[in-house]
Amino acid sequence: EAGVAQSPRYKIIEKRQSVAFWCNPISGHATLYWYQQILGQGPKLLIQFQNNGVVDDSQLPKDRFSAERLKGVDSTLKIQPAKLEDSAVYLCASSRLLNTEAFFGQGTRLTVV
Amino acid sequence: EDQVTQSPEALRLQEGESSSLNCSYTVSGLRGLFWYRQDPGKGPEFLFTLYSAGEEKEKERLKATLTKKESFLHITAPKPEDSATYLCAVQAGSGGGADGLTFGKGTHLIIQP
């Protein structure tokens, strides 16, 4: 079974630029999550999708972050404009059913300079 | 607000020296407590889910236990390949289909040969 795929693996941008991350979850997984992991911290949930609908985006900074999940499969997370404090690893995860374990991708490491 | 505190922040052991990692939590209605392992540059890898106080789960040299306020990850006779950051997370019964995890900062474990 293929795992959660994310791209790119690394991205360096200047502050105020925009950036987008892509995620392809495990086949058949209805639930998709985006987490932000700052160096030395645990992952922090940004947004949860169930199929193509948003279930929880209470911790998403909506003035600069946006996310969508097309046709209930792939998802894109966008930051516009980026700030220095957005430097982090952005992790995508998926789970087959609600309240079951989530499987994580390798993440995208974003550096904002 | 759900909170997860892990201790110690870092732990260095000799190969074969058993120990325990602690995860204390406060959550409004625990739905599940999760343990993940994270290697440098990778996403978290699922280890265990515990659902109720008194529950225990084992996998190779690892055993996770759960009480009403904390969880322990016991490592028996560890090997160098057990070196990683171990993350604890809680899933709250917030309803509405939201089941994202609240993570602790992790325990960075180093096993020396």
Q: What residues of chain A lie within 8 A of the CB of B4, using their CB?
A: 42
Q: What is the DSSP letter of B15?
A: T
For residue B74, the model assigns a pLDDT of 98
B/e letters for A57-94, b = 16+ CB within 10 Å, e = fewer, are beebeeeebbbebeeeeebebebeebeeebbbbbbbbb
pLDDT band at B94 (very low <50, low <70, confident <90, very high): low
* Tens digits of residue pLDDT in A17-26: 999 999 999 9
Segment B2-13 shows an average pLDDT of 97
Q: How far is CA A65 from the centre of its chain?
A: 10
* Tens digits of residue pLDDT in A32-86: 999 999 999 999 999 999 998 999 999 999 999 999 998 889 999 999 999 999 9
* Tens digits of residue pLDDT in B9-57: 999 999 999 999 999 999 988 999 999 999 999 999 999 999 999 999 9
Decide if B58 touches A, using CB distance below 8 A: no
pLDDT band at B95 (very low <50, low <70, confident <90, very high): low
Question: Choosing among B21, B27, B99, B108, which should be mutated to test the A contact, i.e. which has the most A CBs within 10 A?
Answer: B99
Beta A53-56 vs B70-75: how paired, if at all?
A: unpaired
A99 pLDDT higher than 90: no
Distance between CA atoms of residues A33 and A54, nearest Å:
10
Q: Which residue of B has its CA nearest to A43?
A: B103
For residue A100, the model assigns a pLDDT of 85
Distance in Å, alpha carbon of B87 to nearest chain A alpha carbon? 7
Decide if B40 touches A, using CB distance below 8 A: no
**For chain B, what percent of residues have pLDDT higher than 70?**
97
3-class state of residue A5 by DSSP? strand
C-beta atoms of B42 and A107 within 8 A: yes
* Tens digits of residue pLDDT in A29-44: 999 999 999 999 999 9
Decide if B41 touches A, using CB distance below 8 A: yes
Distance between CA atoms of residues A93 and A5, nearest Å:
9
Q: Which residue in the set A40, A50, A100 is minimally distant from B97, CB to CB?
A: A50
CB pairs under 8 A between A and B: 57
Q: Which residue in the set B45, B100, B104 is minimally distant from A33, CB to CB?
A: B100
Distance between CA atoms of residues A32 and A55, nearest Å:
10
Match 């084992």 to its residue by tokens: B58
Residue-averaged pLDDT of chain A: 95
A1 pLDDT higher than 80: no
Phi first, then psi: give them for residue A86, nearest 5 degrees. Answer: -85, -5
For residue A12, the model assigns a pLDDT of 98
Q: Which residues of A touch B (CB under 8 A)?
A: 4, 31, 33, 40-45, 48, 50, 55-56, 91, 93, 98-107
Does residue B32 contact residue A99 with C-beta atoms inside 8 Å?
yes
Does residue A32 contact residue A94 with C-beta atoms inside 8 Å?
yes
Q: What's the helix, strand, coil split of chain A in %, to 5?
A: 5, 50, 45
Going from the C-alpha of A47 to that of each of A21, A22, A53, A66, B109, the distances in angstroms are: 14, 14, 11, 9, 29
3-class state of residue A61 by DSSP? coil
For residue B98, the model assigns a pLDDT of 83
Q: Which residue in the set B31, B45, B103 is minimally distant from A43, CB to CB?
A: B103
Distance between CA atoms of residues B113 and B105, nearest Å:
26
Residue-averaged pLDDT of chain B: 95
Distance between CA atoms of residues A93 and A105, nearest Å:
6
